[in-house]
Amino acid sequence: TAAAYNLGQTLALRGHTCVNGAGASGCMEYMNRGAHDNNGHIVGVIHEKFVVDGSDCLEGANSVFGKGNRMLLVAKGNDLQERKRLLVEGA
């Protein structure tokens, strides 16, 4: 987890965008925190399958996506191919 935080921090300090699956736990959580704590730009891509009907899409994503220089994209489709496409385009 320290390595993930350091990666997010490095991306932010070098002016890169941190693009990932918007996870609220594990490596994505710490990478997002590292970028967030250093005012980095973060793009998260979550699939609509992980959004509970009628809820705010932020519910399934890391809390950093509710503020600042962050963008959360919601992919659609019957599988995860659209999500993968959005991740690659954002990279």
Q: What is the mean pLDDT of residues 39-52?
A: 83
pLDDT at 60 over 70: no
Confidence of residue 28 (pLDDT cuts 50, 70, 90): confident
Q: Which residue has the higher pLDDT, 61 or 57?
A: 61
pLDDT of res. 25: 81
pLDDT band at 9 (very low <50, low <70, confident <90, very high): very high
- With a cut of 80, say whether residue 51 has pLDDT above it: no
The pLDDT of 25-50, averaged and rounded, is 88
Sheet with 41-47, strands from edge to edge, namely 17-20, 41-47, 70-75
**Torsion-angle region of 26 (φ positive above 0: left; ψ -120 to 50: alpha; else: beta):** left
Q: What is the C-alpha separation between 13 and 57, in angstroms, rounded?
A: 28
Predicted model pTM: 0.78
Contact call for residues 57 and 65 (beta carbons, < 8 A): no
